[in-house]
Structure 1
Amino acid sequence: MLEWVGSSIWLGYLGIFLGLLLCGLGLPLPEDILLITAGYLTYIHGWNLYGMVLVALSGVLIGDATIFWLGRRFGREIVNVRLFNRWMSPKRIEKTERFFERYGEKTVFFARFLPGLRAPTYLIAGTMRFDFPLFLLLDGLAALISVPTVVYLAFHFGDDIAAARTHIRKVIYGAALLVLLYILVEIRRRRRKPI
């Protein structure tokens, strides 16, 4: 996969951008993995580090803004959509809203550093009619810290990542197998549930 994406700088940029955009929309893939991939691809192919950081920042911020606007447009009703109700239970919404009421603007800034809570937090910010320019400012400031840092570190330690590649592949295959097993167990469990 990395070889295919890495065969062209434009495919690499597009793949990283779209992946980060989808992460912003709640794709169950840690954003940091894509940022590390961005830094690694930049390292092994000799791409422009600043260009990759700009592409990554764009994907992150557009994804975050999109989930915010979905929340703003559809309000709490969006959690009734199957795609969203898997990771946004009514209890989680209430908890996030209370967190917003207590910590306000800090919530938007610090959510960037809490994987798994970014998309739900930004969705709730939209449903709560949080000020969009302020949202963009706080999210942008946090992204200006996290995105370049992760991409640069992956770029800087490219040799070590290349050496660990075979082990990483085993971990990825193992994780994929665990996800597949989980899905099969869930399907079986749901079939057994009485209606």
Structure 2
Amino acid sequence: MIILDAEFTGLDPHKHSLISLGAFEFEKPENQIYLECLPWEGAEIMDDALEVNGFTEERIFSSHKTLELAMIEFDKWSQGVGEHTLAGQNVGHLDLMFLQTSFERYGMSFKFPHRTIDAHTLTYMHLIKRGEKPPMENERTAINSSFVQEYVGIPEEPKPHNALNGAKVAGEAISRLLYGKNLLTEFENFPIPEYLLN
């Protein structure tokens, strides 16, 4: 399974660009990749997106790697991973769409499945199994990454955001939710809540 997080210049994969990607193999967490790249030529940049991911336009355009080269490197790296199911905080929406659009932009075959695993859904399910009501806001789930991290007993991801750190936080959360076990050494000093051990 590939734990993935990515950063973008906005929310629309047809107008905005992927600018960084972090991933690791769940079964072999030491097998990691982190890539930063230039946006595709003509991609729009939303100030709100940069506020979230901590990038500046100067940083974005200081990369010497094109998006095409980054996708080629990610594709090559992923060939060494046994299972190509993608997992993350909420990977089935933006991350998956941007990754697929980026591959297709350069005529690359997109081999990753559209069925994904995300920490949001696992947290929602775990709360229900415990007989607890998931937090709601505006008649929908209010489970976000901060809630998930607190629920599984790990600190919030440091700011500014980094895609590999995001992948690590999501991977640790998924491990604790699925198995009640620590996955990564950087989180071994954070106790697993008792309700995840049963």
More strand by share: 2
Task: Confirm or deny a common fold (TM above 0.5).
Answer: no
Query: Could you state the TM-score of these two structures normalised by the residue count of structure 1?
Result: 0.29
Query: Could you state the TM-score of these two structures normalised by the residue count of structure 2?
Result: 0.29
Work out which of the two has the higher radius of gyration on C-alpha atoms and give 1 or 2.
1
